[in-house]
Amino acid sequence: MKCLVVPVLLFGCLCLAFCYGYANQRIFASSKHEWNKLILTHHWPVTVCKMNNNPCKDPPTFWTLHGLWPGREEMCNKSWPFKLNEIEDLLPEMFHLWPDVLHPNCSRLWKHEWQKHGTCAAELECMNSEHKYFSKTLELYKKYDLNSALLKFGIVPSTSYYQMKDIEAAIMNAYGVMPKIQCLPPDHGKSTQILGQIEICFTKEIELRNCSEGESESRHFLKDTPGGLQRKDFCVCNNTCRHIIPPVDQIWN
C-alpha cells in the first residue's frame, strides 16, 4: 500500500492542476462575463478637449480610436497587467490613430482600455493577448474607415450644421448597419448638439451588425475615461437637434 501513496498523490496533484487550468480558461464562459457584440468606438478629439475644458495642444483633425469594447463587460481579468513593451511595434500607429489627447505621449488610455475591455475581448482567439487586442482594433479601424465614409457625404468638421439622418445615412451607405452616434447634451435653451463619439458594432465573429440590436440603454463616455470626471457626459444624439462637428479653432467657442 505504501508504494501506491506517492503515485496516487502525484495523480491527485495533476488532476487539481488540470482542473484549475481548465477553470481558469473557462472564466469567460461564466454568466458574469457574457457578451455578444464588439463596439468599435471613435471619438472626435476636439469635442473630447471641449468636454474636459482642456486646452489640448494640436488635437487630431480626424476621428480617432477610443477603444474596442466587448458589450458592457469590463475588468474580466484584473490580474492581467498592461505591458507597453508588448505593443512596441504598434506604437507609431497607436500614437497617430489612438492618441490620448488629454495626456499626450502617455499610455494611460491604452492601459485603461486593455484592463477594462481588452481582458474581456481576450475570450476570442483573435484577441487573446495584449498585442492581438490592439492589433485587431487598429485593423478594424483602418478597414472600416469612418473618416472616409463621412467625407464622401461631405460631413466634415465645420461651423455648418448637420441633420442626424444624414450622418446615419453616410455610415449606413458605407457599412450597411446602423451606428450609435453620441453627442454632448445641448446647453440650456439651445437646440444644437456637438458630436463626440461614433460606435460601429460587430458580432463575435467580427461581422458588422446594428448597434441597437438587443440594447435598451445608451453607453456613456464618462464611464470609460481614465483619470478624473468630465464636465459633461455623452448621450445618444437627439434627432430633433442640429448637430455640429467643431473644427479645432472652435474648441473654446
Q: Which residues does the annotation mark as catalytic?
A: 66, 113, 117
Measured CA angle at 142 (ends 158, 247), to 5 deg: 15
Q: Which residues contact 71 (CB under 8 A, 6 or more apart)?
A: 35, 36, 37, 38, 39
Residue among 150, 243, 113, 246 at smallest CA distance from 190: 243
Q: Residue written as cell 508504494?
A: 3
CB 246 within 8 A of CB 46: yes
Task: Find how far residue 63's CA is from the centre of its chain.
Answer: 13
Report residue 3 as a C-alpha cell.
Answer: 508504494
Q: Which residues contact 184 (CB under 8 A, 6 or more apart)?
A: 47, 50, 51, 193, 194, 196, 232, 234, 235
